[in-house]
């Protein structure tokens, strides 16, 4: 699939700081230690509705990962998928009497526009599940050959499932107990009651064709891919094993990232799939998680149509820590707009206080598990001083502006 357009990222004077991130698997903030090329996979959208601020918050968190690595001089190989075939897409198309292909293409196009408007740096490879079907089939064939997958005994619909015990490590990524796994599996697309499975938690790899559903011919029979294997295959084939960060929102911790890792590790025999599993908190509205299924959504495209400055949306979402579940509100946006106006005013001064220490603090806070609330506070302090006491350093405002652009992606 076509990715979206990029924008220049200014180089910023001073010393970069390495990036430490909280890893769900180990429960610790640990240093990321990329080589020359940092390898990032972030789970993409299921394009059955427009991008809401929850999605935006998650992609903005990983945009900071991307930017901090660039600041550290890494080449960043960023891969993202699009789940352009899955039940929710087919259900929405059916409900709206729409063609599922057209629906997916339309919402993916809108997502790209939203990402460009929000100044999110594009992935190098943007891969749809449908275009990845040959590699998904190859991955499933390997799992079957190695005994990690099986066909259910159902002559009508011989679906293929993954045996969750295949790697002997199942559960290492989420660390959830059995009851939590059971609950999330059932809530998040799993099918615990499918007859013929060896274990209720075994995950679907290949769904045999049903009447009226799209399907593709393959050595597994006519059918379509399950969800988790899409991300295993797309990531493995482009980033290899032990890539630096696997990312998404916290609702992907289980089952999605647990199974993506288990599938990939069963295919390669290598552990770990990713060195860090990084999860963004959920954005809510009116006391509930913002979600397409609940319908309590604020769309990025709607705010854009209302001429809200996308830089203010970035600042509003960065006002809270990326790992914290937090609400969206009109007040949050209003205070981000006023912060943006203050920063713009300060950055437009011909001279100001030196910004070198402020930029060092910005880098320290971002390097410390993307601590944007403290990063924003450090920048507020510089802007307040510039506006109240002035200063004679002509590089102050330009350095401030470059650092805010490069590291936070906010254009002043």
Positions touching ligand 5CA (CB under 6 A) are 43-46, 54-55, 57-58, 81, 83, 231, 248-249, 251-252, 280, 282-283, 289-291
Q: Can the peptide bond before residue 291 be classed as cis, meaning omega within 30 degrees of 0? A: no
CB atoms within 10 A of CB 31: 11
Residue 381 CA to residue 329 CA, distance in Å, equals: 24
Quick one: 38 or 231, whose CB is closer to Zn ion?
231
Note whether 231 binds Zn ion by CB under 5 A. yes
CB of 410 to ligand 5CA, least distance (A): 20
Q: How many residues bind Zn ion (CB under 5 A)?
A: 2
Quick one: 46 or 72, whose CB is closer to ligand 5CA?
46
DSSP-derived 3-state class of residue 193? coil
Residue 55 CA to residue 120 CA, distance in Å, equals: 12
CB of 91 to ligand 5CA, least distance (A): 13
CB of 300 to ligand 5CA, least distance (A): 12
Quick one: 54 or 223, whose CB is closer to ligand 5CA?
54
Residues numbered 16 to 45 that lie near Zn ion (CB under 5 A) are 43
Quick one: 11 or 294, whose CB is closer to ligand 5CA?
294
Residue 368 CA to residue 316 CA, distance in Å, equals: 20
CB of 408 to ligand 5CA, least distance (A): 19
| DSSP 8-state secondary structure symbol assigned to residue 253 | I
Phi and psi angles of residue 269, each rounded to the nearest 5 degrees, phi first: 75, 10
Quick one: 143 or 231, whose CB is closer to Zn ion?
231
Residue 4 CA to residue 284 CA, distance in Å, equals: 27
Best CA proximity match to 103, nearest among 136, 137, 130: 130
CB of 101 to ligand 5CA, least distance (A): 16
Rounded CA Rg of the chain = 22
| Residue 249 binding: pick among Zn ion, ligand 5CA, none (C-beta 5-8 Å cut-off by kind) | ligand 5CA
Strands 125-128 and 75-82: parallel
Quick one: 234 or 315, whose CB is closer to Zn ion?
234
Residue ranges binding Zn ion (CB under 5 A): 43, 231
């Amino acid at each position: 699939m076509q990715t979206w357009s990029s924008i220049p990222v200014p180089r910023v004077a001073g010393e970069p700081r390495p990036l430490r991130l909280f890893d769900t698997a180990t429960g610790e903030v640990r240093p990321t230690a990329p080589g020359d090329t940092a390898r990032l996979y972030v789970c993409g959208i299921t394009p059955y509705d427009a991008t809401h601020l929850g999605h935006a918050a998650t992609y903005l968190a990983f945009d900071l990962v991307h930017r901090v690595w660039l600041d550290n001089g890494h080449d960043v190989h960023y891969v993202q998928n699009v789940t352009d075939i899955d039940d929710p897409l087919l259900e929405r198309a059916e409900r709206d009497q729409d063609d599922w292909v057209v629906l997916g293409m339309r919402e993916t196009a809108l997502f790209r526009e939203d990402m460009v408007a929000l100044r999110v740096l594009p992935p190098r490879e943007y891969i749809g599940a449908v275009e990845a079907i040959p590699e998904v089939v190859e991955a499933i064939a390997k799992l079957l050959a190695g005994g990690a997958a099986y066909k259910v005994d159902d002559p009508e619909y011989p679906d293929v499932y993954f045996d969750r015990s295949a790697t002997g490590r199942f559960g290492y990524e989420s660390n959830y107990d059995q009851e939590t796994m059971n609950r999330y599996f059932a809530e998040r697309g799993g099918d615990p009651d499918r007859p013929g499975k060896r274990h209720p938690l075994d995950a679907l790899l290949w769904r045999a064709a049903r009447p009226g559903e799209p399907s593709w011919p393959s050595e597994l029979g006519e059918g379509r891919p399950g969800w988790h294997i899409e991300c295993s295959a797309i990531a493995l084939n482009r980033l290899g094993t032990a890539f630096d960060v696997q990312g998404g929102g916290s609702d992907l911790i289980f089952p999605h990232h647990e199974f993506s890792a288990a599938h990939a590790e069963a295919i390669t025999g290598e552990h770990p799939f990713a060195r860090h599993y990084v999860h963004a908190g959920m954005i809510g509205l009116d006391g509930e998680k913002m979600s397409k299924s609940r319908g309590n959504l604020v769309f990025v495209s709607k705010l854009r149509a209302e001429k809200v400055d996308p830089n203010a949306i970035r600042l509003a979402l960065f006002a809270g820590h990326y790992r914290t579940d937090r609400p969206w509100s009109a007040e949050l946006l209003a205070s981000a707009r006023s912060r943006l106006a203050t920063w713009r005013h300060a950055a437009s001064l011909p001279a100001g206080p030196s910004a070198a220490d402020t930029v060092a603090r910005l880098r320290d806070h971002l390097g410390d598990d993307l601590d944007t609330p403290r990063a924003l506070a450090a920048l507020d302090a510089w802007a307040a001083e510039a506006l109240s006491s002035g200063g004679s350093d002509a590089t102050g405002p330009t350095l401030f502006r470059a650092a805010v652009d490069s590291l936070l992606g906010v254009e002043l």
